[in-house]
A and B are shown apart, each in its own frame.
Chain A
Amino acid sequence: MKNDLKAVFAEMRISPKLSPRPQFVRNARIRMLNQVSPSNKRAYTPTLSLGLSLFRLALVIIVSLLLLGKGLIYTAGFSVPGGALYPLKRMNSTLFGTDNTAASGSFQISATPNPTSGSPR
């Protein structure tokens, strides 16, 4: 009996007896499309899917962070001991060396132990 009801529901879904008259479908379509007003027509611009939008946002954030990091490292190259960015300069030179020649020179001078400041033997 349960299957009977299922079969009836399926029949209601597809039975041609329950579908609209083709003439009505055609005429109603024409009348409906005549109601479409071109006045509120806006150009259609396809938008990105949610996944693609998130990927684009993530890419922008990553590139921005990389640029910011690089900028900080570059600025840190000119810092002097006691400056806010000096630890970054030390860390950068310890990990990767430094590619800023001016900063590299000043760092080397500051990092080299002063032979005159050592305690005399």
Chain B
Amino acid sequence: MRIHKRVDKHLVAKAKSADKAAIGKLYDMFVDRVYRFVFARVGSKEDAEDVTEQVFVKVVANIGGYEERGFPFEAWLFRIVRNQITDYYRQKRNNHVPLDVAIHVVDPSPRPEEWVVSRLQYEEVLAALPRLPNSYQEIILLKFVHEMENGEISKILEKPVDQVRVLQSRALAKLKLLLKI
């Protein structure tokens, strides 16, 4: 079952006409989901906040040009999220990462005191995600965490639905392999 409803067309139309109340409502509807998606991709709360805020600034700047025409608002928004994350990594690559920061890589394997607990924890999944290719990370988050439909995902990732389906099963298999389940 999807936890979110489709965005009201009239709300988007009002937001397009720079209606602050409508833009605020869209923000309230999506800020949590956008943040969760970004956090799972960037792995730091501070960076996730920065990227999330930049996403919504871009939404405000570009919503005037948004035309639905078979492209749901949610897909449009998540395409912005995706581009913003790409920009984030591009900037990060250009910046020098100090060694003491770089060695703080999260080890996904459980600590000895946790070995007795066999239940899978979300921290393990979050730690395993960066070890997957970008497209696999995106598809796992969009499909399984955010429960989006394949049609929507295909629009966000700009890939045919068939390819999205194949990607899903490959991504899930790879994640299971990493988690040893």
Contact = CB atoms under 8 A, between A and B. Distances in A.
Interface of A: 1-2, 4-9, 11-15, 18-21, 24-25, 28-29, 31-33, 35-38, 40-44, 46-47
B105 interface: no
Given A9-B144, A13-B146, A35-B60, A20 B32 contact: yes
Interface of B: 3, 10, 13-14, 16-20, 23-24, 27-28, 31-32, 35-36, 39-40, 45, 48-49, 52-53, 56-57, 59-61, 64, 119-122, 124-126, 144-147, 172, 175-176, 179, 181
B13 A46 contact: yes
Contacts of A37: 18
- The main secondary structure of chain B at its interface with chain A is helix
Contacts, number: 104
Q: Which of the listed residues A19, A28, A47 has the most CB atoms from chain B within 10 Å of its own CB?
A: A28
B31 A47 contact: no
Interface centre among A1, A9, A37, A46 (most CB of B within 10 A): A9
Contacts of B122: 8, 11-12, 15, 18
A8 B121 CA distance: 6
A1 B172 CA distance: 13
Contacts of A8: 120-122, 124-125
Contacts of B28: 29
B52 A33 contact: no
Contacts of B144: 6, 9
Nearest to A1: B181
A38 B18 CA distance: 7
Contacts of B147: 13
Would you list the 7 A-B pairs with minimal beta carbon distance, nearest first?
Answer: A20-B35, A4-B120, A41-B18, A1-B181, A44-B17, A9-B144, A28-B53
